[in-house]
Each structure stands twice: as structure tokens, then as C-alpha cells.
Amino acid sequence: MPYDEDVVIVGSGFGGSVAALRLSEKGYRVRVFEAGRRFEDHDFAKTSWDVRRYLWAPRLGCFGVQRIHRLPHVMILAGAGVGGGSLNYANTLYEPPPTFFADRNWPAGVDWQGELAPHYATATRMLGVVDEYPHTGPVERIMAGAAQDLGVGDTFRRAPVGVFLGMPGVRVPDPFFDGEGPDRTGCTLCGNCMIGCRVGAKNTLVKNYLALAERRGARIDEMRTVVDVREDPRGGFLVTTERSGAWLRRRRQTVQAEQVVLAAGTWGTQQLLHRMRASGALPRISDAVGQITRTNSEALDGAVATRVPDAAGYAHGVAITTSFHVDERTHVENVRYGPGSNLMGGALATVLVPGDQSVAGRLVSLIGALARHPLRQLRLAGLHRWSERGIIALVMQTADNSLTLSLRRRFGRDVLTSRQGHGEPNPSHLPEAHRAVAAIARRMQQETGVRTEPRGSWPEVFGIPLTAHFLGGAVISESPDRGVVDPWNRVWGHPGIHVVDGAAVPANPGVNPSLTITALAERAFAHWPRRGHEDRRPPQMG
């Protein structure tokens, strides 16, 4: 029967963008629905204080790139807009360590590290990865010194980054895809990668996968939120969207597609799967939905000086430039915002309190620190030039801990909630992170002579860690009792629906997961047949 589209893709992040390009190349009629808006380079906020262009809160008139979600056990930072998380991620593209591929939750019988190796290579080329950030400044020296002080100097390395370094500020024809992609401008090291790159140097998905997909006929509809996906008795699926953030005139539209790709980010994809299962729209979704939800076992702490060191320039460079390992499973990266972008880091930071206490104990420790040194704490907490006098530490682990997500009724609507899952408890703090930021703070003070202290975050005080890398809950698996999608990323029981974003990742990678999500998606669509050709993937047996 005739369908409106061969494939509808929900979301335009690292999974959805791969789907758009690879399926367009194979002759499919592709339509992408993206809840966020489309940004040209000059549309991004200049600093994080431009809240309407920076934060995503559409019902409040904010249509920016930074989403914030909250669960009982974690606060989640995610992306919004055409290009998804690539618009505000730190353009850091590590390949995970072998322990990630050895996790027990991968489908058995496959050497996943070997299986994904060629797809990592493809993802690395497509995202324009520079193997090592080449510049050295105060932050890079401090991170190297902190690693030495912790006795792990041999683990220090410069980050692989997805940025066109080129000649700073100089615009040139596409240097990556034989002129088929957009013109690019060399990085000016302004530090505002995570606000949205106004220079045009960051290798966002708009500059590679999505640009090439649109050249091949893929259609991208911005500001359309998918609210329903259901089986059509006539065949295929009905996908319903409405205008993002609308209070009244929602302008609902429904299209019929032969197949659907869910790539709305872990939060968005899980929300759709839970709701469609509960409503009966997709009744055969596995009971395992929501299980093995990962936070990358993360913490976001840091170190801040009472004033801007004269020669420091902590805000100069790309967002993440170096890392080291505190131990075999704990990875620490420096993170920066550019000058003037003080809202996010400064507002979230507070006294680093001992994590092995109750919430009441942490509050007592915080109040005690404020009482002992009120003027110093006031200077440390000030937002003025925060990004120029602070270094954020993103700490990630390959630990096998997880949450289980489910729906609960709240104020007349179904919302996601969490409880502890399998493996170790999802941590409310990381002692290793506290050690790392203490070492970073000492090095900062030694280098500059300016009083510097380690800092934690307000959510951590209340036992709620922060993560920028929310994963899992619809994981790849060898059977529907162990996960939601099969080894070819098809939803068990509904093989015409596919999950190719972070929700399919079954383990904590312990590094930034964007390259892994891209590689998994490349593998999934490498197995799709060309339009009209025989599908050689095995049928689902579960």
C-alpha cells in the first residue's frame, strides 16, 4: 500500500542523523521530526545568559539548545534542536575501553569491539575527529599536573575533538566531504562550544550527516514533537506530531510510515516507548523497557578561584581538551564555558560536601563551611566571570550500576520516575571525583597563587548526581526478556520500529558516548537492504 513516507525518524541527534543519511543513500523516502528548532550559526546565544536562545523550555518561550530533566535519582543535561545533542555537546569523541564491550548486558555470541571497529572508523571520519587537541594553556598544564600529583600521570592524554581547527576565523570551502558539505570556519578557541558554536567550527551533525542527507532528499521538520506512534491496521505505523511548546493551537498531524526509527535521545525515546506500551498503541514492547538505564556513573564537580588569575585564561580553548584516569574505571575530563557564559556552571556550583553523609548531614556541612568563611564563600559563589576562574571536572565510570525507569501518574499526566536498578546502586556522589577536583584545585592555586577550592553541585548536596550522558532503558539484547531491541536494533515484537540512540546502549562507556551512539547507528543501517531489495537480516524469533 502507498505510505506517506518509507521511514519516519524521531529526532535528529547522533542516531537520527545517521539514519537520515544512510537510508536516503539507500533510496528510502525519509522524513525527520525534530522537537527543537533549526539554528544557523548566528542564531545561537552569545552567552548562557541569553536564556531564550540557550535553554529549552518551549512553553515558557525558550527555544534553545540546553534541555534539563529531573528524576528522583539523577538530573539530566541533554540537547535540543536540529542536530540534537551535537549542538551543545563538548565535541569530545573518545572510543570506550575494552571493559565497556565486555559488559554482561551486551548480546552474547558477538565480539562487539571487533564488530563495531569499522563503524567507529566511519563515525570518526564523518564527525571529523582530530585525534588530539593540539593547544596547551593553563588548563592543560593544570590537568597534567593534577594527574601527576595523583600518581596517574601516565594516563593523561589530550582529547579527540570534533572541531575544524583550520585557520582561526577563516572561512573555507568544505574540507571534509570533497566540497559536498557546507563551508567551514576555523576554530577561534572561544570556549562556547556548549552554548552553540557561532563561529561555524564545531562539527555538529548539521555540518555533516544532516547536510548530506538533505542533499539526498531527506526532509527535516523542525519544532514538531512526536506524541504518538501506533500500529496501523492497514500496515505500517501512524506517527502523530504536534507543535512543540504549544498551549492551545497544537496543530496535530499524523503521517503513515512503513517503518519508524526512534532517536529522540534516551529521555525522549524511553518516554515514547513507555507511553505507547501503556496505552496499547505498541502492546508487544518488552517488559524490560526502562531497565538497565545508565547515567555513565557520572559526577560534575570542579574547582574555582576567588578571582580571575591574571594570566590564567581558563575559558580559552574548546570545551574539553584533556583527561586522565583516577583508577582503571574512573575517567576525568576538564570542561570549560567561554567568557561571559557563567549561568550554568556558576549557578549549579556550591561547596563540595562529604558524600558519605545523609542529606541532612550534607546540609550541615554546607552551612558550616558558609559560616566559617562567609566572605570567601561569597567570592567563590559569585557568578561574575565564573567561567574564567573555574575548571569543571566531568567524571565518568565504567561501573555496572543502573536505574529502572517507569511511568507514574502526576498532575493528570504520565511522567517518568526512577528507582535503583541492577548492579551497584547508582551513586549519589563519587569519592574519586572528590579526589580529582581536590588535586585540580591544589594545582590551580600553585600555578597562580590565588585562593582556589574544590566545588560540588547543588543537586549533589541533595543526593542527586548530574549527568550529561543519559543512556539505556531500551537496550540491545539477544532476547526480549533481556532488552527492548534485537541485535539489529529492531524493537522486539515490533520489528518495523528501530531504536538507534543512546537508549540502546547497554553499558556505561566511561567516556563521552557520542562516537559510540554514532557507530552503533552506522552498524544498524549498514545491515538495512536498499529500498526494494531483499532484507537479509534474520527474522525475530523472540
Q: Are 484 and 273 in contact (CB under 8 A)?
A: yes
Give the residue numbers annotated as catalytic, written as ranges.
469
pLDDT of residue 411: 78
How many CB atoms are located within 10 Å of the residue 256 CB? 17
| Angle (nearest 5°) at CA 48 between 45 and 51 | 75
CA 52 – CA 328 distance, rounded (Å)? 41
pLDDT of residue 58: 95
CA 119 – CA 515 distance, rounded (Å)? 10
pLDDT of residue 454: 97
Q: How far apart, in Å, do the first and last CA atoms of the chain sit?
A: 27
| Angle (nearest 5°) at CA 394 between 392 and 400 | 160
Please give the backbone phi and psi of residue 278, each rounded to the nearest 5 degrees, phi first.
-65, -35
Q: Are 427 and 367 in contact (CB under 8 A)?
A: no
CA 530 – CA 532 distance, rounded (Å)? 6
Measured CA distances, 273 to 50, 289, 315, 534 (Å): 34, 7, 40, 28
pLDDT of residue 311: 67
Hey, which residues does 254 pair with through a beta bridge?
Answer: 240
**How are beta strands 452-457 and 349-351 bridged, if at all?**
antiparallel
pLDDT of residue 312: 63
Output the pTM of the full model.
Answer: 0.97
pLDDT of residue 505: 98
Please give the backbone phi and psi of residue 365, each rounded to the nearest 5 degrees, phi first.
-65, -40
Measured CA distances, 44 to 318, 343, 421 (Å): 16, 16, 38
Task: Mark 423-459 as b/e (b = at least 16 C-beta within 10 Å).
Answer: beebbbbbebbbbbbbbbbbbbbebbeebbbbbbbeb
Q: Are 15 and 263 in contact (CB under 8 A)?
A: yes
Among 229, 223, 269, residue whose Cα is nearest residue 245 = 223
Q: Residue 164 contacts by C-beta under 8 Å, 6 or more apart in sequence? A: 128, 175, 176, 184, 185, 186, 187, 201, 202, 203
CA 27 – CA 80 distance, rounded (Å)? 28
Q: Residue 360 contacts by C-beta under 8 Å, 6 or more apart in sequence? A: none
Positions of the chain with pLDDT lower than 70, given as ranges:
1, 311-312, 542
User: pLDDT, tens digit, for every residue of 24-76?
Assistant: 999 999 999 999 999 999 999 999 999 999 999 999 999 999 999 999 999 99
